[in-house]
């Protein structure tokens, strides 16, 4: 198809910024939001490489992946986009994770970051145009070599072919000639029509799996320099506490200990191995300031939230006159829901390696935020951006936790203090007790019903802490161009924190603000917890993770109050949401909703939109005598736009479902006592075991729309689907997570 650039298409100017030839190589990078073009320094090995997503030379085709590969298969998916337009096989492309460079900034956000299930959505057109641009240049180069018009040449599997003369030349042969040609106009580039796709829409093998199977894949834990020492850090015993003084004499006597140094977040023990550092850390004698949060805990937090939702709060959305409609309703249904703090608990605990010298800083880390990591390393070391390199690695789970940069800060500070390469490794206890948690929230809902049970008014009031107030300063600093003076970055960061504090908190209200049901009077309110002291951050699916549970459970309450089938009740109010209706109908068909379930099995249904996609689920649940909840099977219908790699999408649906189910039925809760998190390992913070994973039947709805989010979309609807099934089984409406049946 031939198309002029649209909102996400590359303009000619930006295409020019990201296309260059040097050293006989053709490099293409379409920049839609970055603050700089090409220009990274050569790696220390001396081999020159371009800061671009696509490089073709006589040595081969290379794609640099600008997003974190944390198991979601994005390295494969993004490479498929390039391969499709270049008309090559995946096996012909070398893939590597891109370092921190402005040329790899997120096209929509302007900072190098992976999150929001946005990688495929944001790169779908830019990388296809990169492949199409390179293909056109190579075709022209082949035509020049053959002495014919480009229209007489075609491309096939990495070759430019001239059928009339029975001649062909490989892309690798033509790369140098192509790099000297004038650039094509992006408006004239022809993207391959969907009907001619060879790769897109087909299940292909993940390119990262072989290395992960044979052990050659380098995760963060594998990526320290060979001569790096290992550091374990003693962190504050409660949030807000600080070191008053410490005695390291016993720790320093442990064989293998190299140094003990104070850093901003505690005291670091540097040793020749992790186990030595961990053992020596236990020998530290530290006197801590008690801090402002001594004595505070979960009970106090929930009591404060109960007060916050007792009275009207800040308006987030208002349609009609909800309060008047409630007063005039013939029936009113009310409910209060509460959700706890949750940890990310990735299998690979936090870690990062750094080597700081007076002239250079290098960081190796499993990070979702290489841009912010580089920015903070510059601030700590005082070096220029050109002197700081951040190399992202594979990671054993991210889930939003690795969008934080606290572990990178620690590695840079320790390496700078000891003047040597260092790897900081967290224990599982460190990981659970010193994280950034999914916010605890409390919800008050009230619906006004007419005589026939039709909802005429909907009020949803949410209490919880701000996520953006802490995160915005870090993001704003990293977003600003590197050339901006540091004092301006600091000022902008401070101002952004103030703005976030005063603004509506979108991560807390997402999934509640945009309810799809047709109700005349809707009001969504947010009551910010101004006294929050527990650090909160982005947890897989963010606000959708709690709001889907609340909204879809309360809709189920309305259906039962009206004496209606929960599926048919939802259908009645989704006329303005055709994508919701489509997946809802399809999942009901998959689950054979209208027929009785097996003996002892009960069904619950839910539908929710997040990250541009819509997912509907039916959970089949059995409640045993203990009592316990056993989820036996889950049917899932997904509309995520054009599916790039169906096998990867299905795997991500199952992964996100398991993640959400773990917090629904397994009982892992972050409790806070005396200003500190109490669970320290998986015995007190259980996660879903393989034996508890239900059978999952997934159908991906065919769509011609561009790809939308995938990695998080199945987390939100699983909790309400299960809770709604438990209500059918027991008659008990459980309004808090995890779901716990009374004995």
Q: Tell me the domains of the chain and their CATH numbers.
A: 12-207 (3.30.365.10), 220-291+350-425 (3.30.365.10), 300-341+439-467+505-730 (3.30.365.10)
pLDDT of residue 13: 44
pLDDT of residue 28: 66
Pairing of strands 521-528, 455-464: parallel
- pLDDT band per the 50, 70, 90 thresholds, residue 23: low
Using the predicted structure, report yes or no on whether residue 475 has a pLDDT greater than 80: no
Q: Give, as one character, the DSSP assignment of residue 691.
A: G
Q: Determine the average pLDDT of the residues in 249-265.
A: 98
- pLDDT band per the 50, 70, 90 thresholds, residue 472: confident
Minimum mean pLDDT range among 158-172, 499-513, 523-537, 617-631: 499-513
CA dihedral 392, 393, 394, 399 (to 10 degrees): -40
The DSSP element (H or E) to which 542 belongs, if any, is none
d(CA 385, CA 485): 12
Phi, psi dihedrals of residue 480, rounded to the nearest 5°: -65, 145
- Give the pLDDT confidence of 66-82 residue by residue, as tens digits: 999 999 999 999 999 99
Helix 718-730, helix 646-665: angle, nearest 10: 50
- Give the pLDDT confidence of 650-685 residue by residue, as tens digits: 999 999 999 999 999 987 899 999 999 999 999 999
Q: Determine the average pLDDT of the residues in 74-103.
A: 96
pLDDT of residue 51: 34
The DSSP element (H or E) to which 547 belongs, if any, is helix 544-561
Q: pTM to 2 decimals?
A: 0.92
Pairing of strands 331-339, 441-449: antiparallel
Dihedral sign of CA atoms 32, 35, 39, 41 in order: negative
pLDDT of residue 44: 36
* Tokens 């180069």 found at: 141
Cβ atoms 391, 223 nearer than 8 A: yes
Q: In the numeric block, which tokens belong to residue 696?
A: 């999952």
d(CA 153, CA 139): 7
More confident residue, 184 or 371: 371
Q: Determine the average pLDDT of the residues in 636-647.
A: 98
Using the predicted structure, report yes or no on whether residue 275 has a pLDDT greater than 80: yes
* Tokens 């006159």 found at: 321
- Give the pLDDT confidence of 300-347 residue by residue, as tens digits: 999 999 999 999 999 999 999 999 999 999 999 999 999 999 999 999
Using the predicted structure, report yes or no on whether residue 267 has a pLDDT greater than 90: yes
pLDDT of residue 481: 79
Using the predicted structure, report yes or no on whether residue 2 has a pLDDT greater than 50: no
Using the predicted structure, report yes or no on whether residue 592 has a pLDDT greater than 80: yes
Q: Determine the average pLDDT of the residues in 100-117.
A: 94
Using the predicted structure, report yes or no on whether residue 19 has a pLDDT greater than 60: no
pLDDT of residue 703: 94
Of the candidates 612, 515, 600, 622, the one whose C-alpha atom is nearest the C-alpha of residue 558 is 515
Cβ neighbours of residue 733 closer than 8 Å, sequence gap 6 or more: 335, 553, 557, 723, 727
SS3 track for 132-164: HHHHHHHHHHHHHHHCCCHHHCEEECCEEEECC
- pLDDT band per the 50, 70, 90 thresholds, residue 496: low
Looking at the DSSP assignment, which residues form a beta bridge with residue 269? 232, 260
Of the candidates 337, 238, 250, the one whose C-alpha atom is nearest the C-alpha of residue 291 is 238
Q: Determine the average pLDDT of the residues in 289-306.
A: 96
Q: Give, as one character, the DSSP assignment of residue 195.
A: G
Q: Give, as one character, the DSSP assignment of residue 438.
A: B
pLDDT of residue 489: 65
Helix 486-502, helix 468-479: angle, nearest 10: 150
d(CA 410, CA 270): 12
Using the predicted structure, report yes or no on whether residue 479 has a pLDDT greater than 90: no
- Give the pLDDT confidence of 387-405 residue by residue, as tens digits: 999 999 999 999 999 999 9
Of the candidates 661, 663, 655, the one whose C-alpha atom is nearest the C-alpha of residue 710 is 655
Of the candidates 468, 534, 547, the one whose C-alpha atom is nearest the C-alpha of residue 501 is 468
Phi, psi dihedrals of residue 353, rounded to the nearest 5°: -120, 145
d(CA 526, CA 316): 7
d(CA 283, CA 216): 36
- pLDDT band per the 50, 70, 90 thresholds, residue 3: very low
CA dihedral 15, 16, 22, 27 (to 10 degrees): 10
More confident residue, 429 or 494: 429
- pLDDT band per the 50, 70, 90 thresholds, residue 16: very low
Counting other chains too, the contacts that 419-422 makes at CB distance below 8 Å and 24 or more residues apart are 419/356, 419/357, 420/227, 420/228, 420/229, 420/355, 421/224, 421/225, 421/227, 421/228, 421/229, 421/353, 421/354, 421/355, 422/228, 422/229, 422/230, 422/231, 422/270, 422/353, 422/354, 422/355
Q: Determine the average pLDDT of the residues in 80-89.
A: 97
Q: Determine the average pLDDT of the residues in 218-240.
A: 97
In order of 18, 410, 460, the CA distances from 37 in angstroms are: 6, 30, 46
- Give the pLDDT confidence of 680-729 residue by residue, as tens digits: 999 999 999 999 999 999 999 999 999 999 999 999 999 999 999 999 99
Cβ atoms 352, 424 nearer than 8 A: yes
pLDDT of residue 573: 97
Using the predicted structure, report yes or no on whether residue 4 has a pLDDT greater than 60: no
Q: Determine the average pLDDT of the residues in 337-365.
A: 97
Using the predicted structure, report yes or no on whether residue 22 has a pLDDT greater than 90: no
Mean pLDDT of the chain: 91
Cβ atoms 305, 440 nearer than 8 A: yes
- The answer for 701, left when phi > 0, alpha when psi is -120 to 50, beta otherwise, is beta
pLDDT of residue 485: 75
d(CA 258, CA 276): 10
Q: Determine the average pLDDT of the residues in 362-380.
A: 97
pLDDT of residue 215: 95
Q: Determine the average pLDDT of the residues in 198-212.
A: 96
- Give the pLDDT confidence of 208-217 residue by residue, as tens digits: 999 999 999 9
* Tokens 């995160």 found at: 471
The reply to whether omega before 390 is within 30° of 0 (cis) is no
Q: Determine the average pLDDT of the residues in 491-495.
A: 68
d(CA 314, CA 48): 54
pLDDT of residue 488: 73
pLDDT of residue 37: 30
Cβ neighbours of residue 554 closer than 8 Å, sequence gap 6 or more: 335, 337, 445, 447, 460
Phi, psi dihedrals of residue 12, rounded to the nearest 5°: -60, -40
Q: Determine the average pLDDT of the residues in 620-640.
A: 95
- pLDDT band per the 50, 70, 90 thresholds, residue 498: low
d(CA 723, CA 629): 10
What are the respective helix, strand and coil percentages of the chain, to the nearest 5?
A: 35, 25, 40
d(CA 454, CA 520): 11
């Amino acid at each position: 198809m031939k198309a002029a650039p649209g909102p996400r298409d590359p303009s000619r100017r930006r295409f020019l910024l990201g296309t260059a030839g040097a050293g006989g190589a053709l490099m293409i990078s379409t920049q839609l939001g970055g603050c700089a073009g090409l220009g990274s320094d050569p790696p220390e090995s001396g081999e020159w490489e371009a800061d671009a997503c696509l490089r073709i030379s006589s040595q081969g085709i290379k794609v640099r992946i600008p997003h974190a590969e944390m198991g979601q298969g994005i390295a494969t998916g993004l490479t498929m986009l390039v391969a499709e337009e270049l008309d090559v096989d995946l096996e012909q492309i070398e893939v590597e994770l891109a370092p921190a460079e402005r040329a790899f900034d997120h096209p929509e956000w302007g900072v190098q970051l992976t999150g929001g299930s946005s990688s495929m959505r944001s790169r779908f057109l830019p990388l296809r145009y990169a492949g199409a641009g390179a293909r056109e240049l190579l075709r022209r180069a082949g035509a020049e070599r053959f002495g014919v018009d480009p229209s007489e040449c075609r491309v096939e599997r990495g070759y430019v072919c001239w059928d009339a003369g029975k001649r062909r030349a490989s892309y690798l042969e033509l790369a140098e000639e192509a790099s000297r040609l004038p650039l094509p106009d992006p408006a004239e580039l022809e993207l391959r029509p969907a009907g001619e796709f060879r790769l897109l829409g087909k299940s292909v093998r993940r390119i990262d799996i072989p290395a992960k199977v044979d052990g050659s894949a380098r995760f963060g834990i594998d990526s320290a320099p060979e001569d790096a020492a290992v550091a374990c850090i003693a962190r504050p015993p409660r949030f807000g506490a600080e070191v008053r003084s410490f005695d390291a004499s016993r720790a320093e006597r442990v064989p293998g200990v190299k140094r003990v140094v104070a850093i901003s977040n505690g005291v670091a023990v540097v040793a020749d191995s992790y186990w030595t550092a961990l053992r020596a850390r236990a020998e530290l004698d530290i006197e801590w300031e008690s801090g402002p949060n001594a004595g505070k805990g979960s009970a106090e937090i929930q009591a404060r939230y109960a007060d916050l939702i007792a009275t009207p709060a800040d308006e987030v959305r208002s349609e009609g006159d909800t309060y008047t409609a409630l007063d005039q309703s013939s029936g009113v249904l009310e409910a209060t829901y509460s959700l706890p703090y949750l940890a990310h608990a990735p299998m690979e605990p936090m870690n990062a390696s750094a080597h700081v010298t007076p002239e250079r800083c290098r960081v190796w880390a499993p990070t979702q935020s290489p841009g912010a990591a580089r920015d903070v390393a510059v601030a700590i070391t005082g070096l220029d951006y050109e002197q700081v390199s951040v190399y992202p690695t594979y990671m054993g789970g991210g889930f939003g936790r690795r969008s934080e940069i606290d572990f990178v800060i620690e590695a840079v500070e320790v390496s700078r203090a000891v003047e040597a390469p260092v790897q900081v490794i967290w224990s599982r206890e460190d990981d659970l007790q010193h994280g950034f948690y999914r916010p605890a929230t409390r919800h008050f809902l009230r619906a006004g019903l007419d005589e026939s049970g039709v909802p005429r008014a909907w009020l949803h009031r949410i209490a919880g802490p701000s996520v953006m107030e802490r995160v915005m300063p870090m993001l704003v600093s990293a977003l600003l161009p590197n050339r901006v003076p540091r004092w301006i970055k600091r000022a902008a960061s401070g101002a952004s924190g103030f703005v976030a504090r005063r603004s509506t908190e979108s991560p807390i209200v997402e999934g509640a603000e945009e309810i799809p049901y047709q109700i005349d009077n809707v009001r969504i309110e947010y009551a910010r917890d101004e006294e929050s002291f527990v650090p909160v951050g982005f947890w897989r699916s963010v606000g959708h993770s709690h709001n889907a549970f609340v909204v879809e459970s309360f809709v189920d309450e309305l259906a039962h109050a009206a004496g209606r089938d929960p599926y048919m009740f939802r259908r009645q109010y989704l006329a303005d949401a055709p994508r919701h209706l489509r997946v809802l109908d399809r999942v009901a068909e998959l689950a054979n909703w209208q027929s009785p379930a097996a003996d002892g099995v009960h069904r619950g249904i839910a539908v929710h939109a997040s990250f541009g996609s819509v997912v509907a689920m039916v959970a089949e649940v059995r409640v045993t005598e203990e009592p316990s909840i056993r989820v036996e099977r889950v049917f899932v219908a997904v509309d995520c736009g054009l599916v790039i790699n169906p096998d990867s999408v299905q795997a991500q649906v199952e992964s996100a479902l398991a993640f959400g189910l773990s917090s629904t039925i397994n009982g892992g809760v972050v409790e806070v006592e005396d200003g500190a998190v109490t669970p320290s390992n998986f015995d007190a913070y259980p996660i879903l075991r393989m034996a508890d994973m239900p059978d999952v039947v997934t159908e991906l709805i065919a769509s011609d729309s561009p790809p939308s989010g995938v990695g998080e979309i199945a987390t939100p609807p699983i909790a309400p689907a299960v809770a709604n099934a438990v209500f059918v089984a027991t008659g008990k409406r459980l309004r808090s997570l995890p779901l716990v049946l009374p004995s």
